[in-house]
Amino acid sequence: MAQYTPMMQQYLKIKAEHKDAFLFFRLGDFYEMFFDDALSASKELEITLTSRDGGDKDRIPMCGVPYHSAENYIKQLVEKGFKVAICEQVEDPKVAKGVVKREVVQLITPGTVMEGSMLDEKENNYLASVSEFRDGTFTVSYNDLTTGENSIALISNGFDAVMSELFNRPVKEVVVASDFDGDRQMLLKERLGYTVSFCDQTEIQQEFSHLIESIHQDKFIQGFGRLLHYIEHTQKRSLDHLRPVQPIELKQYMSLDMYSKRNLELVETLRKQGKKGSLLSVIDHTITAMGARTLKKWLERPLLSKDEMNTRHDQVEGMLAQFFERETLREQLTSVYDLERLAGRVAFGNVNAKDLIQLRNSLAKIPELLTTLGQFDHPSLTNLYKEIDQQESLKQLLEESLADDPPITIKEGGMIRDGYNSQLDEYRDASKNGKKWIAELEGKERSETGIKSLKIGYNRVFGYYIEVTKANLPHLSEDRYERKQTLTNAERFITPELKEKETLILEAQEKSVDLEYQLFLDVREQVKNYVQELQKLAEQISRIDVLQGFAQSADKNGYSRPSFTDERIIDIKQGRHPVVEQVMKGESFVPNDIYMDDSTDVLLITGPNMSGKSTYMRQLALTAIMAQMGSFVPCEAASLPLFDQIFTRIGAADDLVSGQSTFMVEMLEANHALSHATEQSMILLDEIGRGTSTYDGMALAQAIVEHIHERIRAKTLFSTHYHELTALADQLDRLKNIHVRAEEYEGNVVFLHQIQEGAADQSYGIHVAKLADLPDPLIERATFLLNHLESGNAEVAASTDEGQLSLFVEETRPSKQSKSSAIEKQLKGLNLMQMTPMDAMNELHRLQKQIKS
């Protein structure tokens, strides 16, 4: 480093400790970046790249952002997955000997963001860590720094399960050991889009021992220790708001793998990857940001505890029954700010006076809210308000100490209420009276000199002064004032008495601001003592908010309370798809029953494209998820078993990231379901086998149906265009055929969207193509070819139009006699002894259709 200046040597030394982050190096009113950081940041932030002399023979690349507007630039970098190390001057330049001392005071990463402007208020911002152990098990730890939430789960069924668990939560960054498998790191980065960071330390210091009181497994302690060390390393400040680690007992919740969460569009849509059009967008009637985050957690982890589900349903029922009280409750919740994140900012030390006013106003609403809750008649709602602590002492502290309209900054004064501190009141009184004395002096001097334009002003250089225009100077006696400054059109004067008052006023103002700052810090420290109580209060208010939101969506959308049975029976009357029916506002959604008793494990669904097979399948899964998270459901009545897992293969999409085709994705998702499903699971498989040749696809589809029927016995909905599979109902006693009704009317197909028993008689593929406005000649040609293919005469599929090339060998249409002879030959050629019963039935079915046509 010898060739560089001392300041650049300081920069390079600090940068060497933060190689994976942009180093925002404080120089005066700017954060500067140098070398490679400058080259990269200038491109990412689209800011000017310059250079400076740093002692080397070549000039050093440099770019910078203003200190006061740095937050926006940091946000841009963090949203792109980068880290930013904030390097501040930690020494007063006036007393520094040589280069001002600088240190990194915070490392901002995608998983450790605290500033509100960088966060989605309705979503958690999780930092996660993954630890692998020698026996092949993993721990996944979570922390939301903004709320102090900590949790951990043990996963013993492979890394795919780890991926699904991480996908289930809004994780932004994952911390792993430095020797963590490289291929798995790539999956975390490219498949899930996470920033991957490294930490090898896992020991937990004594000061954080209270966080692990509820966990005793060494794996849990090591897994969380890695996460905690990373947080300590990046934040370098108080972490008093961190809550004890909560073990996640995965067996207490319905399991939703990443495929199912994506295919069912629970929190975002497949096409636009946004919230609109997802299940969350339909059922989210929460008012507060913390309520919205809680709702998302409930959706991510539907319950398996029947008692807790019934408690939630009871409470929703109670709120649904009383419209006016519920509306009052919703109105009161609009005045409650994000207590959870406010508590986090208090402990973190970056809360300002306006934040504390929000906290005070929120606490002031709690008594009203409890009064309204007390007006609900349902007994299940009693505990919701009886257990809530209104935090009267904290509210009193904030009311007595803080002014009603404080500034955003905390070093300019104006935050502390009059009467809170006697010394501050004295300073304010001296400042106020001093200014009053100056105003009186100005009036007195105007009167005595006769100069009406005489004024007393102030600036930071000269302090208070008397200003007289040059035209009025003759009216002054020479010894009246002491000349201080000459301007173009005026003269400025001072007097000993004015300077004496100036000293009194400025000292009072300066001391007042300094004292206010110290008083505010003291108030903030006192509020810290209430952080845990505020977090508990936030949890209680969040629950109330989610439950009233469930009641609101039930009222608005006509949902019913579900019931649960210990038997393996699904009985849904007039079920609807919660999202599709909202999209179809103005049109009538066709509801359908779903019934599967203990003697039916598989529903084989046939029917044309666009008829509603996928909608029918999805609405069953969404109804089960809504019921088990505590919501009412879109139907007239529903009796359901508890589902431990839901697996789906719906829709076709290539996985371009990993280079997998539609068919490979299809097979992987089907395999995941077949490998993990139990008798208590639900499986939805939509048109399995369509990504390969007809016979391959049909064979695979049949084998999968048979495997589920014979070995798994999970409740399964299986849609297909392979009509030959409907014959399985004669062989598999727990499989039942159903189809979606469609009728042909004047050459067009009419989709009735009604589910009926039995198999569909045709697929209407050409009619669907006609609805898509394919050219008429193409539709006519397809119809012609279809007729010949269905008649068994593939060889006579030539067009009668002149100039149209024949697809097959052209020959004359055979007579009935020749057709019969051909069928006889085919029958004679069959080797029945080498055919399976299914193959024989399919062949018989084909020959029968040939004769009929």
pLDDT of residue 84: 97
C-alpha span between 92 and 100 (Å, rounded): 7
H/E segment holding residue 624? helix 613-629
609 is in an annotated binding site: yes
Strand order in the sheet with 645-649: 255-256, 645-649, 682-686, 715-719, 602-606, 735-745, 748-757
Residue that the structure tokens 């089907």 belong to: 670
To the question of pTM greater than 0.85 for the whole model, the response is no
pLDDT of residue 791: 67
Q: What is the DSSP string of 116-157?
A: GGGS-TTS--EEEEEEE-TTS-EEEEEEETTTTEEEEEEE-S
610 is in an annotated binding site: yes
Residue among 180, 263, 280 nearest 626 (CA)? 280
Query: Is 346:532 a contact under the CB 8 Å cutoff?
Result: no
pLDDT more than 90, % of the chain: 62
Residue 424 burial (10 A CB sphere; 0-12, 13-18, 19+): buried
pLDDT digits (tens, 9 = 90+) for 175-209: 999 999 999 999 999 989 999 999 999 999 999 99
Q: What CATH class does 563-762 carry?
A: alpha beta
- The answer regarding whether domain 120-248 maps to CATH 3.30.420.110 reads yes
pLDDT exceeds 70 at position 795: no
pLDDT of residue 195: 95
305 is in an annotated binding site: no
C-alpha span between 654 and 665 (Å, rounded): 7
pLDDT of residue 343: 92
613 is in an annotated binding site: yes
Per-residue pLDDT band for 767 (boundaries 50, 70, 90) equals low
453 is in an annotated binding site: no
pLDDT digits (tens, 9 = 90+) for 428-440: 887 788 888 888 8
pLDDT of residue 585: 75
What three-state secondary structure class fits 530?
coil
Q: What CATH class does 422-520 carry?
A: mainly alpha
- The answer regarding whether domain 6-108 maps to CATH 3.40.1170.10 reads yes
Torsion of CA 440, 441, 443, 445, to 10 degrees: 160
C-alpha span between 174 and 828 (Å, rounded): 67
pLDDT of residue 818: 52
608 is in an annotated binding site: yes
Residue among 690, 741, 683 nearest 713 (CA)? 683
Strand partners for 23 = 85
CATH number of 284-387+530-557: 1.10.1420.10
pLDDT of residue 656: 39
pLDDT digits (tens, 9 = 90+) for 688-730: 877 777 788 888 999 999 999 999 999 999 999 888 899 999 9
